[in-house]
Structure 1
Amino acid sequence: METSVNYPIPGVVYPSRARAEAALASGAWIAATVGDALRATARRHPQRLVFIGEDRSLDLAGFDEATERLGAGLLALGLAPGDRAIFQLGTTVETATALVACFKAGIVPVCSLPQHREVEIGQLTQQSGARGYFVQADFGSSFDLPVFAESMMARHPSLEHLVIVRGERAGASSLQTLIDGMPLDEARERLSQVRPGLSDVLSFQLSGGTTGVPKIIPRFHAEYLGHSSGWMRRYRIDADSRLIWSLPLMHNAGQLYALIPTVLTGTSVVLMSKVDIPRMLDLIGQHQVTHALSIGPIAPQLMAYPDIARHDLSSLRLFSTMSRADTLEAHLGVPCSNLYGITEGLLLGSPADAPADARHRTQGRSGCDDDEIRLLEPGSERPVPEGQIGELCFRGPSSLTGYFSNPEANAQSFTSDGFYRTGDLVTARRVGDALHYAFEGRLRDNVNRGGEKIGCEEVESHVSQHPAVADAKLVAMPDPFYGEKGCIFIIPRPGMQAPDVQALGRFLVERGLARFKCPERVVEVEAFPLTRVGKVDKPAMKRHIADVLEQEGKP
């Protein structure tokens, strides 16, 4: 297949032809689009069960057919290849169907979250120029996503087509109705006219950042297939494996780990709409799950769960987590390994048969032999000696080619020879003959709440608009379940008191900030601590709140 771009999107920095051809030659990219990969897998294993949901399941033939009919239905609705669509969907079989239907039709999902509100959806819509909007009608009980979507469409005229998933609403299209109303033969004929190139955009993923403007990361068909395939090799995942996923399917990790393996090989995936530890463990035994992964609060909750022994985990070959794999392995009694992943294109991990030093004391190594990794002195391009902490920088077949329509961020994000600067501090450690990488901390100003990156600058900007707040600084505080939560230090206006957590949360949500970004502790201060050169000393604030929590008996 040609590496050409058949549906160009202004503002996308595409991989060069030389890069694409080299990646295809080495096997780091797979010479297919996601749609064609699924069609081929479905022909080989039509009856294989691929998605096991809480209320329905799909085999490969049914998944391929549903995505064909929905993809063609979206084109008939008025969307076109190259159009973008906001996605606010949970982790369900319907979400997997909607994503792959868009991939087949050349429609580009903007992978936002159901928890995002006016601020995030407004910015993403303006940046992406989205014409489509998918929302889940039954996501949670306290917030009406279809009503919210209608309000956003009224504010943003580019949004023309609303698709309701797992429900119906007057004036909008129902996902199921679009599927049912499109005959399969007609769908296949219509989609045969849509031919994305290997370097066409597959999806718009989001980067966690330090500012209030989400950065959009284009991912590409052949590149994304190859990236997922490399992760599968690293973890020994194949067609006979069975995975479980309970975190957002919109996340890069969810799609690389749980969605694309079904497309490539027909790997079965158990989908959970929310984290429920006893239920997860029951499902692992019931469905003989072989691989589980956590990028957020799952591992800490598992370690706090006292009844592991009553669950059958004999099928589980590997549980991967962001950190503390040694503790989790001792608790579960199954092999566990640390991992590292960044949406900009690097995945590190270790398989179950790797040495304990690799699995427990590092985040592993890349599944792609073409990836180049350097550890540099922060703020420079000087490599650090092996064994010393440096900023993790990388380039490779799946590494970011450029944020979408963001030349300023692109100018700051790469070294002079094209290595992406992660802002993460790691140490290179040799295990056997290979270098592995151990996460040590971050340079950038954000809070990593269970895998969701919260930009401190964004939250501070909103908090500072509160009438009682003169200034505010957000820092990460340790949390046993989420790893980190946000603690806001507030200097109140003269004669006023800082709002408490509940009042501040109400204020921020009313401003349109996602609830998960709201600070979960407020500390009122007269002044912020300063460094010797007069800058605000956030490390001192972090130490302060960590000491307070320790005194309170909260780890």
Structure 2
Amino acid sequence: MRTSEHDHDHDHEPGREPKHGNEHEHEHRNETAYALSESRTLWELIARRADLTPERPVLLQAAADPSDDRTLTFGELRDRAERVAAGLHDMGVRPGTVVAWQLPTRIETALLSFALARIGAVQSPVIPFYRDREVGFALRESKAEYFAVPGTWRGFDHREMARRLGARGVFEAYDDLPDGDPSVLPPPPSDGTAVRWIYWTSGTTSDPKGVLHTDRSLMAGGSCLAHALHLKASDVGSMAFPFAHIAGPDYTVMLLLYGFPAVMFEHFALPAALDGYRRHGVTVAGGSTAFYSMFLTEQRKLRPGEKVIPTLRLLAGGGAPKPPEIYHAVVREMGCQLTHGYGMTEVPMITMGAPDDTAENLATTEGLPPEGMEIRVTDADGKELPPDTDGEVRLRGEAVCRGYLDPRQSADVFDADGFLITGDLGHLKKSGHLVLTGRAKDIIIRKGENISAKEIEDLLHQHPAVGDAAVVGLPDPERGERVCAVVEQHAGAGELTLETVVSYLRGEGLSTYKLPEQLELVEALPRNETLRKVLKYKLRERFSRS
């Protein structure tokens, strides 16, 4: 979608070229944050920040009853995490011990995680919504010696599940945490390149994969996010996603580098969570594209001139494709900026949009990579392609994982030059901005022609009756695959038909061979519980027919 001159004027002075890459960094560089980003380990970063601003808040726990809200300062984070580390040490946790934890987004969860970082244990976070299949797989594959659970949380007994799975060293870590005398602890770890984190891919079509990270790879991802957003100590962020997601350390590193707090939501749901955003004066919110849409829905319930979060100046996130129309709707209706990035469990942050970039770049690209992140776009044989040419996205840099727990999986995902083969398709602009055009597995092959699902989805999102949309390829005996559009409609919108959708897409210039041959209207697209990504495999299962 083209942007108007007005859109561009909103972002920079007429006649003046927008800044890119290092020019952004030079103008907005925070010397303290850049110095802290050189910390060797996550614990060293925590300790250095606590020395600088011990009394400043870092975590704000939002409760249903405002009188139950809690605050943790940077100094308390360091001191209490050391006491928890000592308690874990008394239990038998040592450097290299594998500890799995499945906990909600709470101050106690952060304390436990940082305590394990203080010891130098290997931690394996598990999303709290996962159940026996995924949790059992993670426990078996990681050979976890301890497993921290919340007890019964949101009606589900995690301790009983742990018993069914035969988990070892099970302990509860919801309100109460292990406690001890820090004098028993060995020195903090000093090698930030050792593998101390095992994160799990979603495993929506097969078993999850254990992704190996180091302190430095997680810190590199968080630094990319922090430096791109030009944040200030006066900002207030928010964690509406599971802390056990790879975004947990991403976001925490940002708080530590720039010295500002974030509001934690144990269970995120709108409109209930809005009171927490408002009373804590959140200035930076987000999560993923689905979160942007949820905030827009709440904004549209208000009278003209009212803001859903009065203090909000920036929505930021990643983890799922962002249609250009979502960007323009947020800026137009919510009166704040929207920056979107590109990351994955294997590489927590690859590129990130900067708030002072042009509207065109923020709407249509995933932003710029940080210094040290190499992006190579190749053909199927690994040959590098020139700018503005679509191909496969490959990555190399400090933020890239060290491979998978199963070494056989690692052999298939890294090329001969050490680049991670992402499976994503896109191109680099001459400015260095990355444009994603789809997934290699999300290309629909109809009568031998490749069709990008994302191209059709981006057009559908511009239709006034469409709330959200997903396009999938379904098996077809004549065509190989046929194009199926699955649509959520806005409340009160007239019911769409295949004929009206096809007519609209033709009018937008979509080639005939890409037009949908099947339309399905649904109340809600199926999504995962972390960043609310659409589960396309469920749509294929539901709507395929022989």
TM-score by length of 1: 0.70
- Indicate the residue corresponding to 1:529 in structure 2: 476
- Indicate the residue corresponding to 1:372 in structure 2: 374
Render the CA deviation track for 1:85-115: whole Å, top value 9, x for unaligned.
2221111111111111111111222121112
Render the CA deviation track for 1:350-374: whole Å, top value 9, x for unaligned.
12111111111111111x2111111
Identify if the C-alpha distance between structure 1 residues 52 and 252 changes in structure 2 by more than 3 Å, giving closer, same or farther: same
Q: Distance in 2 between matches of 1:73 and 1:483?
A: 49
Q: Distance in 2 between matches of 1:317 and 1:374?
A: 33
* Structure 1 residue 247: Cα displacement: 0.9
SS, match of residue 432 in structure 2: strand
- Indicate the residue corresponding to 1:31 in structure 2: 39
- Indicate the residue corresponding to 1:235 in structure 2: 229
Identify if the C-alpha distance between structure 1 residues 202 and 482 changes in structure 2 by more than 3 Å, giving closer, same or farther: farther
Task: Find the partner of 1:120 among 134, 145, 157.
Answer: 134
Render the CA deviation track for 1:508-532: whole Å, top value 9, x for unaligned.
xxxxxxxxxxxxxxxxxxxx42477
Render the CA deviation track for 1:169-219: whole Å, top value 9, x for unaligned.
xxxxxx43x23xx2xxx31x2234343412122321123457522211222
The amino acid across from 1:161 in the alignment is G
SS, match of residue 212 in structure 2: strand
Q: Distance in 2 between matches of 1:209 and 1:417?
A: 27
Q: Distance in 2 between matches of 1:316 and 1:544?
A: 32
* Structure 1 residue 272: Cα displacement: 0.9
**Contact 1:85–1:108, Cα closer than 8 Å, also in 2:** yes
Task: Find the partner of 2:125 among 111, 118, 137.
Answer: 111
> Is 1:290 matched up with 2:283?
yes
* Structure 1 residue 315: Cα displacement: 3.1
The amino acid across from 2:222 in the alignment is S
Identify if the C-alpha distance between structure 1 residues 300 and 548 changes in structure 2 by more than 3 Å, giving closer, same or farther: farther
Identify if the C-alpha distance between structure 1 residues 39 and 553 changes in structure 2 by more than 3 Å, giving closer, same or farther: closer
Identify if the C-alpha distance between structure 1 residues 352 and 427 changes in structure 2 by more than 3 Å, giving closer, same or farther: same
Q: Distance in 2 between matches of 1:544 and 1:284?
A: 32
Aligned pair count?
428
**Contact 2:228–2:354, Cα closer than 8 Å, also in 1:** yes
What pairs with 1:468-479 in structure 2 (closer than 5 Å)?
A: none
**Contact 2:472–2:483, Cα closer than 8 Å, also in 1:** no
Unaligned runs of at least 5 residues, structure 2: 1-33, 63-68, 444-459, 488-515, 526-546
Q: Distance in 2 between matches of 1:554 and 1:53?
A: 30
TM-score by length of 2: 0.71
* Structure 1 residue 298: Cα displacement: 1.2
Render the CA deviation track for 1:254-298: whole Å, top value 9, x for unaligned.
3202x2233334320101122233344433332222221222531
- Indicate the residue corresponding to 2:87 in structure 1: 73
- Indicate the residue corresponding to 2:245 in structure 1: 251
SS, match of residue 441 in structure 2: coil
* Structure 1 residue 56: Cα displacement: 2.0
**Contact 1:102–1:109, Cα closer than 8 Å, also in 2:** yes
**Contact 1:244–1:271, Cα closer than 8 Å, also in 2:** yes
> Is 1:320 matched up with 2:319?
no
Report the RMSD for the aligned CA atoms in angstroms.
3.0
Render the CA deviation track for 1:419-453: whole Å, top value 9, x for unaligned.
111111123234xxx2211221111379xxxxxxx
- Indicate the residue corresponding to 1:437 in structure 2: 434
- Indicate the residue corresponding to 2:513 in structure 1: none
**Contact 1:362–1:438, Cα closer than 8 Å, also in 2:** yes
SS, match of residue 411 in structure 2: helix
**Contact 1:253–1:341, Cα closer than 8 Å, also in 2:** no
Query: Which deviates more from structure 2 when the two are superposed, residues 320-329 or residues 392-401?
Result: 320-329
Q: Distance in 2 between matches of 1:160 and 1:550?
A: 46
Task: Find the partner of 1:44 among 52, 55, 67.
Answer: 52
* Structure 1 residue 58: Cα displacement: 1.0
The amino acid across from 1:63 in the alignment is L
**Contact 2:442–2:472, Cα closer than 8 Å, also in 1:** no
> Is 1:162 matched up with 2:170?
yes
**Contact 2:216–2:398, Cα closer than 8 Å, also in 1:** no
The amino acid across from 1:437 in the alignment is L
> Is 1:223 matched up with 2:217?
yes
Task: Find the partner of 1:85 among 92, 99, 120.
Answer: 99
Q: Distance in 2 between matches of 1:304 and 1:312?
A: 10
> Is 1:144 matched up with 2:157?
yes
SS, match of residue 210 in structure 2: strand
The amino acid across from 1:439 in the alignment is L
Identify if the C-alpha distance between structure 1 residues 190 and 37 changes in structure 2 by more than 3 Å, giving closer, same or farther: farther
The amino acid across from 2:217 in the alignment is E
* Structure 1 residue 51: Cα displacement: 0.6
- Indicate the residue corresponding to 1:381 in structure 2: 382
Task: Find the partner of 1:347 among 343, 350, 359.
Answer: 350
- Indicate the residue corresponding to 2:365 in structure 1: 362
The amino acid across from 1:399 in the alignment is V
Q: Distance in 2 between matches of 1:101 and 1:28?
A: 20
Unaligned runs of at least 5 residues, structure 1: 1-25, 168-174, 447-477, 490-527
Q: Distance in 2 between matches of 1:481 and 1:52?
A: 32
SS, match of residue 433 in structure 2: strand
Identify if the C-alpha distance between structure 1 residues 138 and 118 changes in structure 2 by more than 3 Å, giving closer, same or farther: closer
Identify if the C-alpha distance between structure 1 residues 408 and 554 changes in structure 2 by more than 3 Å, giving closer, same or farther: closer
**Contact 1:232–1:238, Cα closer than 8 Å, also in 2:** no
Q: Distance in 2 between matches of 1:277 and 1:341?
A: 25
Q: Distance in 2 between matches of 1:551 and 1:276?
A: 24
**Contact 1:281–1:311, Cα closer than 8 Å, also in 2:** no
Q: Distance in 2 between matches of 1:195 and 1:382?
A: 40
What is the aligned-residue identity percentage?
23
